[in-house]
Chain A
Amino acid sequence: MSSEVATATTQGHTHRDDAGTKLGMWLFLFTELILFGGLFIIYAVYRFSHGAEFELAANELDRLVGTVNTIILLTSSLTVAMSITAIQEGKKNLTLLLVGMTVVLAFAFLLNKYFEWDHKIVAGIYPGSPDLINKPQGVILYFGLYYVMTGLHALHVIIGMVVLVVMMFFVKNGTIHKGSFVRLEAGALYWHLVDIIWIFLFPLFYLLH
């Protein structure tokens, strides 16, 4: 059986290693864990040493905006997960619709984030601002981490959007189809990671009391 498969692969088709592709994607996701993990450790240490000031600073954030953005990202994870089922069933248009919805939700998340940052910056809270410099050390650290961590996350959202749009082109031109969809799976894995990082950012920045 296995030799039959081997000959079939070498004869009629270009070589493909879906398991390897997926494993490679997972290994990349682990490097992302190290990237964000370092920042989470810095957050943990400063929250430990400046707990009260972190809570004071967190009051400046709008809990509702954070909650809405959490729901948006969770829903985008749902649509991209469902797109895998759609492509497995060979439903091309449904796949395009679901991945398209994911991209739209990602854009909504960024729009929300933009207004949130804009609101803060207009209020004079941004790294190095005269208003912020005079605040307690813990508040300065909190907003420094807030901008770096949500900013790096937003960058991942943008990259994820680009990846998913490329996947839509692949679905449209038939590169991704019922018999070969590992690219879409890899793109979806990346998107779920972006969701997981937000699952931790949300309570750590928005839900301190």
Chain B
Amino acid sequence: MDQHEHSQEHGEGTHIVSYARYIMIWIGLVMLTGTTVALSGMDLGRWIILTALTIASIKTTLVLSIFMHLKFEDKMYRYFVLIAGSTFLIFISLTFFDYAFR
């Protein structure tokens, strides 16, 4: 009974991501950080929060999908993260429905 027999225990986790790919993602993350800092220096008025949160969400998606391997895992993990994230968004929107129209 050698190691290969047990490959099932590792499931999808055995996917190996190359160092180069990780470094590319890191470069992307640093560039997005630079973009968000540069944009914050401009006078975007009300749009500033929206652009900042959009860039933060793109960065989070990169970290989740590559660094945290969601892209290579069983689809189930993706659904779970989606459900958790949507639940949080619903909490925030319901709070504002209450608060903004008071």
Chain A interface residues toward B at CB < 8 A: 2, 4-5, 8-9, 11-13, 16-19, 22-23, 26, 30, 33-34, 37, 40-41, 44-45, 47-49, 63, 67, 70-71, 74-75, 77-78, 81-82, 84-85, 88-89, 179, 182, 185, 188-189, 192, 195-196, 199-200, 202-204, 207-209
Contact = CB atoms under 8 A, between A and B. Distances in A.
Interface of B: 1, 3, 5-6, 8-11, 13-14, 16-19, 22-23, 25-26, 29-30, 33, 36-37, 40-41, 43, 48-49, 52-53, 55-56, 59-60, 63-64, 66-69, 73-74, 77, 80-81, 84-85, 88, 91-92, 95-96, 99-100
B17 A85 contact: yes
Contact of A33 (B9, B88, B95): B88
Contacts of B23: 78
Contacts of B88: 33-34, 37
Contact of B91 (A17, A41, A49, A179): A41
B63 A5 contact: no
Nearest to A7: B1
B3 A196 contact: no
B80 A30 contact: yes
A63 B37 contact: yes
B53 A203 contact: yes
The 4 closest A-B CB pairs, nearest first, are A207-B40, A203-B52, A78-B26, A81-B67
Given A18-B11, A30-B80, A78-B23, A209 B48 contact: yes
A65 B3 CA distance: 48
Contacts of B18: 85
A17 B9 contact: yes
Contacts of A70: 33
B26 A74 contact: yes
A179 B52 contact: no
B36 A200 contact: no
Given A30-B84, A85-B19, A77 B40 contact: no
B40 A203 contact: yes
B95 A45 contact: yes
